[in-house]
């Protein structure tokens, strides 16, 4: 595997039309295969810069900003459910006209990717799930980038808390996210923090950004509360795609306790748990994740997965 520039810049973004939706994406030029990358709640296409660069010799890729995130302005009637996000991703893959793709998703994007693989198996060659948002309803303040968020919508004190949160600067917001998602925030390069600060600053100007985050959060909880066929635990066994499940041992957002069950339920899945790693392994340990992903791709090609 080629060595990686420690902090390669994100490829420039572009806005495309997909099934009536305006979708902001970043294309990483590369090899003959095609990879599609789906970020998590509050994330964006830049969450995949390092991993996409490492995988580029084998697969060019597109990383998407889901509607309401990054620079993808949502349509007025978009409902922000996991199902709606999955439909957008499936439509995007179909529009590429490359045949089945290597689909990679993190957190909320992992749940979205799981749904795509289950419902549109002809679109997905391999599936990589990095700390996917499998049902995890445990109450814990440690899962919040700012503990005050738990009180933001309570009567009486809610408005004051929301004003306090709104007063945070973009760099402070960015650093809070990194502290939550990385086991070791010191591993996050200063240049990456600059990029994230710029993105947070830009999104502060978008009237749709905060409502999109809130509604997508509620969409996740609705799916987590589902029973029967709509449960993600029921969806997982229907995925026939070769799958790599990656989890950080120190994930504070979606507990690593969900890892073994997730990998066991998906018929053709293998599990990699990484020590000293948090919720975004593709950002915190891109080299290790890239080697694992390339290993899966090779095994699938040789029919040894």
Q: Is residue 248 part of a domain?
A: yes
* Confidence (pLDDT) at 2: 47
Average pLDDT of each block of 10 consecutive residues along the chain (305 residues)? 61 87 94 97 94 97 96 94 97 95 98 98 98 81 47 57 58 81 90 86 88 90 93 97 98 95 98 97 97 98 96
Sign of CA dihedral 104, 106, 112, 117: positive
Q: Is residue 40 part of a domain?
A: yes
How much is the pTM? 0.91
* Confidence (pLDDT) at 148: 43
* Confidence (pLDDT) at 69: 95
Determine the Cα–Cα distance for residues 210 and 173; give it in Å rounded to an integer.
13
Q: Is residue 149 part of a domain?
A: no
- Cα angle 101, 104, 108; round to 5: 135
Q: What is the dihedral of CA 137, 139, 142, 144, to 10 degrees?
A: 70
Q: Per the structure block, which two tokens stand in for 40?
A: 């998590």
Across the strands, what pairs with 14?
A: 25
Judging by beta carbons within 10 Å of its beta carbon (0-12, 13-18, 19+), is residue 74 exposed, middle or buried?
A: buried
* Cβ atoms 286, 260 nearer than 8 A: no
Q: Is residue 158 part of a domain?
A: no
Q: Is residue 220 part of a domain?
A: yes
Q: Is residue 230 part of a domain?
A: yes
* Confidence (pLDDT) at 18: 87
Q: Is residue 132 part of a domain?
A: yes
The number of distinct structural domains making up the chain is 1
Q: Is residue 69 part of a domain?
A: yes
Give the residue numbers spanning the domain of 25: 13-140+208-302
State the CATH number of the domain containing residue 251: 3.40.50.1820
């Amino acid at each position: 595997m080629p060595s990686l520039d420690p902090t390669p810049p994100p490829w420039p973004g572009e806005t495309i039309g997909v099934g009536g939706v305006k979708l902001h994406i970043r294309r990483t030029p590369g090899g003959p295969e095609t990879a599609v990358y789906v970020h998590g709640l509050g994330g964006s296409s830049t969450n995949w810069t390092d991993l996409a660069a490492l995988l580029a010799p084998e697969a060019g890729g597109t990383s998407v900003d889901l509607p309401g995130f990054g620079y993808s302005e949502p349509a007025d009637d978009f409902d922000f459910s996991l199902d709606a996000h999955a439909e957008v991703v499936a439509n995007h893959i179909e529009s590429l006209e490359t045949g089945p793709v290597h689909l990679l998703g993190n957190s909320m994007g992992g749940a979205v990717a799981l749904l795509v693989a289950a419902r549109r198996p002809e679109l997905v060659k391999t599936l990589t799930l990095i700390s996917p948002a499998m049902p995890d309803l445990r109450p814990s303040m440690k899962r919040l980038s700012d503990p005050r968020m738990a009180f933001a919508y309570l009567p009486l004190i809610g408005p004051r808390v929301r004003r306090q949160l709104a007063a945070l600067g973009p760099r402070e917001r960015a650093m809070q996210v990194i502290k939550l998602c990385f086991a070791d925030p010191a591993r996050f390069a200063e240049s990456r923090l600059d990029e994230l600060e710029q993105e947070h600053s830009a999104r502060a100007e978008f009237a749709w950004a905060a409502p999109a985050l809130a509604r997508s959060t509620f969409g996740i909880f609705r799916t987590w509360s589902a029973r029967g066929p709509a449960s993600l635990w029921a969806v997982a066994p229907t995925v026939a795609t070769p799958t790599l499940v990656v989890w950080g041992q120190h994930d504070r957002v979606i507990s690593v306790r969900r890892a073994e069950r997730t990998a066991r339920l998906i018929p053709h899945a293998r599990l990699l748990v990484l020590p000293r790693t948090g919720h975004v392994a593709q950002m915190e340990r891109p080299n290790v994740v890239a080697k694992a992903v390339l290993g899966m791709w090779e095994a699938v090609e040789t029919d040894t997965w």
